[in-house]
Amino acid sequence: IFHLFLHTRKKMGLLLLLIICQCAINGIKTHSVSKPSIILLMADDLGIGDLGCYGNRTLRTPNIDRLAEEGVTLTQHIAASPLCTPSRAAFLTGRYPIRSGMAAFSRVGVFLFSASSGGLSSEEITFSKLLKQKGYATALIGKWHLGMNCESSNDFCHHPLSHGFDYFYGLPVTNFRDCKPGQGSVFLKGVQKDLVIPIQIAGIALVSLTIVQYIGLLKVPFQALGYFLLIITISLVVLIFFFYHFRHLNCFLMRDHQIIQQPLSYENLTQRLTKEAMQFIGRNTDTPFLLVLSYLHVHTALYASENFKGKSKHGLYGDAVEEMDWSVGQILDVLEKHNLSDKTLVYFTSDQGAHVEEISSSGEVHGGYNGIYKGGKSTNWEGGIRVPGLLRWPGVVQAGASIDEPTSNMDIFPTIVKLADAQLPSDRIIDGHDLLPLLQGKVTRSEHEFLFHYCNAYLNAVRWHPGNSESVWKVFFFTPNFSPEDSNGCYDSHVCFCHGGFITRHDPPLVFDLSRDPEEKVPLTPETESRFHEVLRAVHQAVDNHTRSLHAVPNQLSWDNLLWKPWLQLCCSSLFQSCYCDYESGGSSLQVHLG
């Protein structure tokens, strides 16, 4: 009996030890799955066809392709907007940009100036705010493009640090051609086109008033003529001053609230951004962190450092893609160096499709490749909104898997908020859905039955993926007028616009089945598709439900919020010194240009 008691006690002890070990292992898994570090890599204007993992055979992108090999490739990953500002607002908030006032009713759909008063409202909840509340170290490195100030040049109401980021190193606006000498201007053609007629009208009016005054047909006080001439002169002087100094006023580098380089220098810029990202990771090896690395590549002005210039098969554009790929490799290497790879979710995407109309003054193609897909940036054809979507998390996310379900860049918000053990906001609609069940293979269908495609603030198209079908229907209410007509973009205006004479409305709407016609070549008709009317009924009902869920909010992209306001201008020296400084190249000393 005594020996039996000892034997039983020994077996019970071993069993208890096994239970404790299993609980400990489960606890570790739960902790690592629930609070990983998160790296979100966003390219700018990158085409889905520019990457090897999406079929490109001439551009070298081994590091980005490695994310696909070791993680999941989303082949129907959709940007919430085909333009930078609204797409990034949706990405950060998990909501259609129309809900946050970040969708324009005017022709201009993005912020153009650092001293505009519009931006991502403080009422909006970003994933960075929620993760910061959960103890995450948070950083945004690279492009922001969601506003800066509201009422004064130092209130920083729209600044990244006001939206949950602990650290910011990057550009407050975006990378324009005008930022790099010799690369042309995105404004010149538009300014010439829009100002020639008003200036001619003002000139004719002034001359006419002077003539009728001289011959005595009408008595116009000379004081009124003087004021009229003064207003026109001041307006022209301000306009000329602004565009002459555009680079200094809008293209600068900041660290937190401090300007450190004005104007921006492109020398080794990708290396500097990458170094900042690596240092941030190195500072936070013992705590969960959120890093958003928002590349300037491959928005124009294109640039590449000496190590990459002239090395690709696709000119400067290809050089820029391959340099960005190098940067991604550096980030993955530093994760391995600190044994963080298995504890970090890495996501790679682009804010929208390639800008196909980008042609340099010398005729070189400076826009990317959208593969088989029609159109590009600024349109809701698939080429404008179908973007790379790569997610890697070793041991948690399937490796080498490909998912062809509709997903959105808005899905990142609920996905990482849940991983951080934070609560989704209950006082607003979140349009994104948690991707993790799909990424782990626990479900095979996307939660997005409908996706709504906006062109600025105008509902342009709707995507419907019925639960009982493999079809993905896409219904267009209007389409942009390409120019030239037989081209694949709006080359005459540089981007496509969303209303008036720039579009063609369709009644009945155009209907495509993307599962059979991903190139959107042949619209369906009642004669060629038996479900034609059923599709339209379902989409119209979805639009009604969606429209009822919208609430009026301040328009952050109104003309008033878009215009340059001198009192909001950030300047590291003074306007008389051309807003020039360089803390980056000169180390700790400030170099000031007085010429």
User: Which residues are catalytic, by number?
Assistant: 84, 145
Report whether 109 contacts 145 (CB < 8 A). Answer: no
The pair phi, psi for residue 96, each rounded to 5°, is -55, 140
Kindly write down the DSSP assignment for every residue of 152-214, as one continuous string.
Answer: STT--TTSGGGTT-SEEEEESS---GGGSTTS--SSHHHHHHHHHHHHHHHHHHHHHHHHHHH
What end-to-end distance do the CA atoms of the chain give, in Å? Answer: 101
Sign of CA dihedral 523, 526, 532, 537: positive
Report whether 346 contacts 391 (CB < 8 A). Answer: yes
Q: What is the dihedral of CA 186, 187, 188, 191, to 10 degrees?
A: 150
Helix (H) or strand (E) holding 19: helix 2-34
* DSSP 8-state assignment for residue 365: B
Task: For residues 84 and 144, give the distance between their C-alpha atoms in angstroms, rounded to a whole number.
Answer: 10
Tokens at 294, concatenated: 């928002």
Report whether 367 contacts 356 (CB < 8 A). Answer: yes
Radius of gyration of the chain from its Cα atoms, rounded to whole angstroms: 27
The pair phi, psi for residue 458, each rounded to 5°, is -105, 125
Report whether 488 contacts 374 (CB < 8 A). Answer: yes
Contacts 24+ apart (CB under 8 A), 266-270: 266/180, 266/301, 266/303, 267/305, 267/585, 268/305, 269/296, 269/303, 269/305, 270/295, 270/296, 270/297, 270/304, 270/305, 270/323, 270/324, 270/326, 270/327
Tokens at 113, concatenated: 């100036």
**CB atoms closer than 10 angstroms to residue 209:** 16
Tokens at 263, concatenated: 């104007």
For helices 315-337 and 62-70, the axis angle rounded to 10 degrees is 50
Helix (H) or strand (E) holding 425: none
Kindly write down the DSSP assignment for every residue of 95-162, as one continuous string.
Answer: S-GGGGT-S-SSS--S---TT-S-BS-TTS--HHHHHHHTT-EEEEEEE--SB--SSSTT--TTSGGG
Query: What residues form DSSP beta bridges with 365?
Result: 359
Task: For residues 323 and 320, give the distance between their C-alpha atoms in angstroms, rounded to a whole number.
Answer: 5
Contacts 24+ apart (CB under 8 A), 477-480: 477/505, 477/506, 477/509, 478/503, 478/504, 478/505, 478/506, 479/381, 479/503, 479/504, 479/506, 479/510, 480/375, 480/378, 480/379, 480/455
What ranges make up the beta strands (E) of 521-593? 581-582
Task: For residues 430 and 433, give the distance between their C-alpha atoms in angstroms, rounded to a whole number.
Answer: 8
Report whether 460 contacts 477 (CB < 8 A). Answer: yes
**Burial class of residue 372 in the structure, from the number of CB atoms within 10 Å of its CB (0-12 exposed, 13-18 middle, 19+ buried):** middle
